[in-house]
C-alpha cells in the first residue's frame, strides 16, 4: 500500500514558537471544543480550525447537527477570507482509497454533495440559484498510477474552478482524538509530511487558486500508540521491531464512524457554499 496519511496538525494545542497562536472555545454544553489557530507565513497567514468532540457521533443526531453547523461556520469564514461569492465554481476532491474503509472519508463525502456544475453549465434556470459544485474522487497512486496532484491539476486545466476543497483522512498522535476531531485549514496539504515522504504540496500557490482542506483523524500509527503509552507510564520499557512500528490501525466501529463524519462534512460543504 502506498498510502501515507496526513497528520492532524497542531493537535497538542501547544504554541509553536512565534509563528503559531491559538484561541480555545467550547460549544454544545462542553461536548465540542474548538482550537482556532493562526500560522504566520512569509506571505498570507494560514487559519486552522480544529474541533474535538467528547462523545461518539453514533446515533447522536443532535451532536451531528451541532458539529455540522460549527464546521459550516468555519468553512464559511475560510471562504469569506478568500473572497468566495455565489456563482464561483468549486471543485471538491475526495482523496484516499474508497476500497479501504478508514481511507474512504473523501469518497463518501463526495457522494453526499449537491453536484450542480453540469446543470448550471446547461443553463437549467432553476439551478442557477445554487452553488456551482463539481467533484472528483482522486483515489491513490497505487490504484491509478497517478499522483493526486496530477489528477487535480488535470481537472483544473479542463474545468477552470475558482476554489478547491479537499477532503481527506488524517492520522492522529493520540488515541483520544481517534474519530473525535475535525480539522479545516487553508494552509495546503503536504502528503507524507508526517513520515518524511513528502510529495507535491496541494496549496493555493501550487494550484493557482484558494484551497481549503477538511479532514478527520480516523487512523493512528502503532508507533504513536506505543509512544503515548510509554510517556504515560515512564517506568515501562517496550521493545518493538520495525514491522510493528509500520502498522496503522483504526477503531473497530470505523465503518459507522466514517459514514457519520462524511455526512457531517458533506452537509457542511453544501450549506456553506449556498449561504453566500
Q: What is the full DSSP assignment across 204-264?
A: HHHHSS-EEEEEEEEEEEHHHHHHHHHHHSTT------HHHHT-EE--TTHHHHHHHHHHH
Residue 17 is predicted with a pLDDT of 60
Residue 145 is predicted with a pLDDT of 75
Residue 239 is predicted with a pLDDT of 66
Element (H, E) at 133: strand 132-139
Backbone torsion region of residue 127, taken as left when φ is above 0, otherwise alpha when ψ lies between -120 and 50, otherwise beta: alpha
Residues 156-163: what's their mean pLDDT?
Answer: 96
The domains of the chain, with CATH numbers, are 6-274 (3.40.50.1450)
Residue 235 is predicted with a pLDDT of 73
Residue with the larger pLDDT of the pair 247 and 209: 209
CA angle (208 as vertex; 206, 209 as ends), nearest 5: 120
Residue with the larger pLDDT of the pair 30 and 121: 30
Question: Residue 6 — pLDDT band, cuts 50, 70, 90?
Answer: confident
The answer to whether residues 174 and 228 touch, using CB atoms and an 8 Å cutoff, is yes
Is the pLDDT at 245 greater than 70? The verdict is: no
Residues 21-39: what's their mean pLDDT?
Answer: 94
Residues 65-83: what's their mean pLDDT?
Answer: 97
Is the pLDDT at 238 greater than 80? The verdict is: no
Question: Residue 133 — pLDDT band, cuts 50, 70, 90?
Answer: very high
Question: Residue 232 — pLDDT band, cuts 50, 70, 90?
Answer: confident
Residue 112 is predicted with a pLDDT of 98
Give Cα separations from 255 to 105, 182, 260 (angstroms). Answer: 10, 17, 9
Amino acid at each position: 500500500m502506498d498510502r501515507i496519511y496526513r497528520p492532524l496538525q497542531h493537535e497538542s494545542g501547544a504554541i509553536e514558537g512565534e509563528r503559531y497562536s491559538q484561541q480555545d472555545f467550547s460549544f454544545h454544553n462542553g461536548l465540542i471544543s474548538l482550537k482556532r489557530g493562526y500560522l504566520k507565513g512569509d506571505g498570507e497567514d494560514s487559519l486552522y480550525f480544529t474541533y474535538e468532540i467528547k462523545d461518539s457521533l453514533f446515533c447522536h443526531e443532535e451532536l451531528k447537527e451541532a458539529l455540522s453547523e460549527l464546521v459550516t461556520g468555519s468553512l464559511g469564514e475560510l471562504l469569506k477570507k478568500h473572497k468566495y461569492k455565489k456563482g464561483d465554481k468549486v471543485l471538491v476532491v475526495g482523496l484516499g482509497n474508497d476500497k479501504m474503509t478508514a481511507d474512504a472519508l473523501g469518497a463518501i463525502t463526495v457522494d453526499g454533495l449537491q453536484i450542480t456544475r453540469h446543470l448550471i453549465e446547461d443553463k437549467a434556470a432553476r439551478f442557477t440559484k445554487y452553488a456551482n459544485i463539481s467533484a472528483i474522487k482522486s483515489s491513490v497512486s497505487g490504484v491509478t498510477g497517478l499522483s493526486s496532484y496530477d489528477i487535480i491539476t488535470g481537472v483544473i486545466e479542463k474545468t477552470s474552478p475558482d476554489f478547491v476543497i479537499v477532503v481527506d483522512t488524517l492520522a492522529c498522535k493520540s488515541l483520544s482524538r481517534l474519530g473525535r476531531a475535525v480539522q479545516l485549514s487553508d494552509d495546503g496539504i503536504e502528503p507524507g509530511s508526517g513520515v518524511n515522504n513528502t510529495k507535491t504540496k496541494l496549496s493555493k500557490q501550487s494550484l493557482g487558486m484558494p484551497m481549503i482542506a477538511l479532514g478527520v483523524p480516523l487512523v493512528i500509527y502503532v508507533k504513536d500508540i506505543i509512544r503515548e503509552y510509554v510517556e504515560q507510564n515512564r517506568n515501562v520499557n517496550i521493545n518493538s521491531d520495525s514491522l510493528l512500528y509500520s502498522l496503522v490501525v483504526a477503531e473497530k466501529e470505523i465503518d459507522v464512524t466514517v459514514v457519520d463524519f462524511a455526512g457531517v462534512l458533506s452537509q457542511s460543504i453544501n450549506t456553506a457554499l449556498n449561504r453566500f
